[in-house]
């Protein structure tokens, strides 16, 4: 296979414009290199994509392919090349390599936290420093000035900068291939990055009135809480925290609970977010509240305000477990308070179709347990169609599943309470949480107030219901101990490697990574159907948000587009892709319509049996 490195130079990116206009492209195959104007770049890339013996390599290649798609490279050729692994990204490669080595936080060769820009990889692999990347007048930001200008008339510095990007990418790729010739899951992750970038580029719009209302409310809350915190001495008059007072309140809160406050290695009372929460002190709760509102004000409000004029373009990154993280803004981890989600609305003439997997990570955990041990009580319950939280609640109450189901349907309060504890147990214990961390998790995620003894008893009931988890924890603990606290995990079915795992990350990675693999494959296939497959019910839709186990797309709402068929196809693809990774455990993903983004949305049907947008009850009764 011939490997050709490519790069594009474009107009400047801007808010709402992640696919700028192509000005030129550059290429290098190790022996030949050059710069081509836009039309010639499209022609050359099209020919290379048609050649099954050519692999195209780029740094942050998804960006370049989106630019080339917009410039006229046929979509079917791009998708076919991603399907066959002929579009490869040096940035994705390096992230997976560092994840496999366990060097995502600290690279011992660099003596620093790793970075993944091309300049960083050039420095690491080639020992050279790239020039022309910084400064107000660099060519990187000025290629729009050369649009349509013959190459013979280009300044030498502009030509060299474009050419160097391709040459250096080719050299970095050659070093990567020599150093790590086999990197499991690399080709799939390149394809997933393509789908994620297209989604980011399309972006989300927001409701101007709702954003203004949220902004005013957040400012009012900050002012009110800040006044209370200053009165309590938590904040000084200059607006800075008084750590002495905060630590004193932590000590007071713990001692009221009959506990000693946790301390750092140097003997200071801890004041991290978890400790503040566990202290259970009113003033410290207000401190947590103001931090939440300040995050809203600083990071979310500006992005939401942008969305009223041009699309908000959240970015996505690959994390150690195989999951994604979102940034600018982090729509995958929105503040618990504030109503950010409801500010996002479809474009005019469109509607949201959303679908999320039911207990996705528990299904993945059950599959992992079947893979490891050949059988699993958790898998049996899911395979039998039993609702897993009721299954766990039955164990907590010491009753049969059938009785738990009957009492649940009758609205029995004791069963309802047990089911809430079961949800906390099912989602909290698989990751290896200890009693104190679980108490905090149950409070934050489910509003449960448990003692440490209650948490221990709950875990005993949970392990009795799913005894294979005893073996799971024991084996991961043994591996952790044998490795001095650090060990390597190979992801089931994708073979992706994660190095430097500790006990809890080792517990989490196997099932979180499996869920991420299925969900990202689903996003890729959904995106392909939206952009490429004209015979698909999804053709013409656009993915707008990916939240670990949930996909939201925008669909035309014009009276002729078949929203029911699109919703059914979204669900079908999501289930098919997840079950590629969990073949022994069935998956479920139910789709619904929304006129704005709601967390609790469910399918709602009109008198004709067709889907209609879900609305919260207070809106339904207006």
| β-bridge pairing 611-614 and 604-605 | antiparallel
**Is residue 197 included in any domain, yes or no?**
no
Q: Which long-range contacts (CB under 8 A, 24 or more apart) does 208-216 make?
A: 208/308, 210/339, 210/342, 210/343, 210/345, 210/596, 211/301, 211/304, 211/305, 211/307, 211/308, 211/343, 214/296, 214/301, 214/304, 214/338, 214/339, 214/340, 214/343, 215/297, 215/301, 215/304, 215/305
Q: Which of 579, 50, 46, 163 minimizes the C-alpha distance to 358?
A: 579
Q: What's 605's domain CATH number?
A: 3.30.70.370
pLDDT computed for residue 133 by the predictor: 75
Residue-wise pLDDT tens digits, 319-331: 999 999 999 999 9
Q: What average pLDDT score do residues 434-438 get?
A: 91
Q: Which regions of 369-486 does DSSP assign to beta strands (E)?
A: none
Range of the domain at 563: 314-358+488-622
Instruction: Decide which of 183, 218, 243 is a domain's last residue.
Output: 183
Residues 331 and 387 in one domain: no
Residues 332, 274: one domain?
no
Same domain (yes/no): 500, 482: no
Same domain? For 351 and 372 the reply is: no
| Helix 186-202 × helix 61-71 angle, to 10° | 60
Is there a domain that residue 198 lies in? no
Per residue in 559-570, pLDDT (tens digit) is 999 999 999 999
Residue 53 belongs to a domain with what CATH number? 3.30.420.10
Q: What is the pLDDT of residue 359?
A: 96
- Domain membership of residue 195 (yes or no) is no
Instruction: Name the domain count of the chain.
Output: 4
Distance CA 158, CA 138 (A): 9
List, for residues 515-553, the tens digit of each pLDDT value.
999 999 999 999 999 999 999 999 999 999 999 999 999
Q: Do 56 and 173 share a domain, yes or no?
A: yes
Q: Would residue 230 count as lying in a domain?
A: yes
Residues 11, 151 within the same domain: yes
The encoded tokens of residue 432 equal 């290896």
The verdict on 335 and 416 lying in the same domain is no
Mean pLDDT of the 210-214 span: 97
Residue 465 backbone dihedrals phi, psi, to 5 degrees: -75, -35
Give per-residue pLDDT as tens, 63-100.
Answer: 999 999 999 999 999 999 999 999 999 999 999 999 99
Shared domain check, 449 and 430: yes
Helices and strands (DSSP H and E) totals, the chain: 23, 17
Asked whether residue 194 is assigned to any structural domain, the reply reads no
Helix (H, G, I), strand (E, B) or coil at 601: coil
Domain termination residue (choose one: 466, 487, 508): 487
pLDDT of residue 620: 44
Residues 454 and 492 in one domain: no
Joined tokens for residue 367: 């599959």
Show which of 183, 216, 240 is a domain's final residue. Answer: 183
Confidence of residue 274 (pLDDT cuts 50, 70, 90): confident
On average, the pLDDT of the chain sits at 94
CA distance 146 to 11: 10
Distance CA 462, CA 430 (A): 10
- Assess if residue 454 is contained within a domain: yes
Q: Does some domain include residue 505?
A: yes
């Amino acid at each position: 296979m011939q490997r050709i490195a490519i790069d594009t130079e474009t107009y400047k990116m801007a808010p709402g414009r992640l696919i700028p206009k192509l000005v030129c492209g550059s290429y290098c195959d190790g022996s030949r290199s050059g710069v081509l104007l836009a039309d010639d770049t499209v022609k050359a890339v099209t020919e290379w994509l048609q050649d099954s013996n050519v692999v195209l390599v780029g740094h942050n290649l998804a960006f370049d392919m989106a630019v080339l798609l917009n410039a006229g490279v046929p979509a079917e050729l791009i998708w076919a090349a991603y399907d066959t692994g002929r579009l490869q990204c040096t940035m994705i490669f390096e992230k997976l390599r560092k994840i496999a080595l366990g060097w995502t936080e600290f690279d011992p060769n660099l003596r620093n936290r790793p970075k993944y820009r091309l300049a960083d990889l050039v420095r690491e692999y080639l020992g050279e420093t790239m020039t022309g990347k910084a400064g107000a007048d660099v060519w990187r930001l000025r290629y729009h000035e050369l649009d349509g200008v013959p190459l013979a008339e280009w300044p030498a510095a502009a030509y060299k900068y474009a050419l160097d990007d391709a040459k250096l990418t080719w050299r970095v790729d050659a070093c990567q291939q020599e150093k790590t010739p086999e990197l499991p899951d690399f080709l799939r992750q390149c394809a997933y990055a393509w789908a994620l970038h297209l989604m980011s580029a399309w972006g989300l719009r927001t409701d101007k009135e709702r954003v203004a209302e949220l902004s005013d409310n957040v400012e009012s809350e900050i002012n009110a809480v800040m006044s209370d915190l200053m009165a309590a001495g938590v904040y000084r008059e200059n607006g800075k925290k008084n750590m002495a007072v905060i630590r004193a309140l932590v000590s007071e809160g713990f001692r009221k609970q009959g506990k000693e406050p946790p301390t750092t290695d140097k003997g200071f009372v801890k004041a991290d977010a978890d400790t503040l929460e566990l202290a259970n002190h009113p003033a410290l709760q207000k401190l947590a509240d103001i931090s939440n509102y300040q995050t809203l004000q600083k990071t979310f409000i500006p992005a939401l305000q942008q969305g009223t004029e041009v699309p908000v373009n959240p970015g996505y990154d690959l994390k150690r477990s195989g999951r994604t993280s979102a940034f600018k803004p982090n729509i995958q981890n929105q503040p618990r308070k504030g109503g950010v989600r409801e500010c996002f609305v479809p474009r005019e003439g469109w509607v949201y179709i959303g679908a999320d997997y039911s207990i996705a990570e528990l299904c993945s955990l059950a599959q992992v347990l079947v893979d490891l041990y050949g059988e699993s009580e958790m898998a049996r319950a899911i395979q039998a169609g039993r609702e897993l939280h009721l299954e766990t609640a039955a164990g907590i109450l010491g009753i049969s599943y059938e009785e738990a189901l009957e009492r649940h349907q009758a609205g029995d309060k004791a069963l309802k309470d047990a089911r809430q504890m079961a949800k906390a147990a099912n989602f909290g214990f698989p990751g290896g949480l200890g009693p104190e961390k679980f108490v905090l998790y149950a409070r934050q995620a489910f509003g449960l107030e448990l003692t440490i003894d209650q948490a221990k008893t709950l875990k005993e009931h949970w392990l009795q219901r799913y005894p294979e988890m005893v073996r799971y924890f024991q084996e991961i603990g043994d591996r952790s101990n044998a490795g001095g606290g650090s060990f390597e995990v190979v992801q089931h079915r994708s073979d992706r490697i994660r190095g430097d795992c500790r006990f809890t990350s080792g517990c989490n990675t196997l099932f979180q990574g499996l869920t991420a693999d299925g969900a990202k494959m689903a996003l890729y296939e959904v995106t392909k159907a939206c952009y490429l497959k004209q015979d698909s019910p999804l053709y013409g839709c656009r993915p707008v948000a990916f939240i670990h186990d949930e996909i939201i797309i925008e669909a035309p709402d014009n009276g002729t587009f078949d929203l029911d068929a699109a919703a059914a196809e979204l669900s079908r693809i999501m289930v098919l892709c997840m079950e590629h990774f969990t073949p022994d455990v069935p998956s479920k993903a139910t789709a619904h319509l929304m006129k704005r983004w709601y967390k609790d949305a469910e399918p709602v049907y009109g008198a004709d049996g067709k889907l209609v947008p879900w609305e919260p009850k207070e809106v339904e009764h207006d």
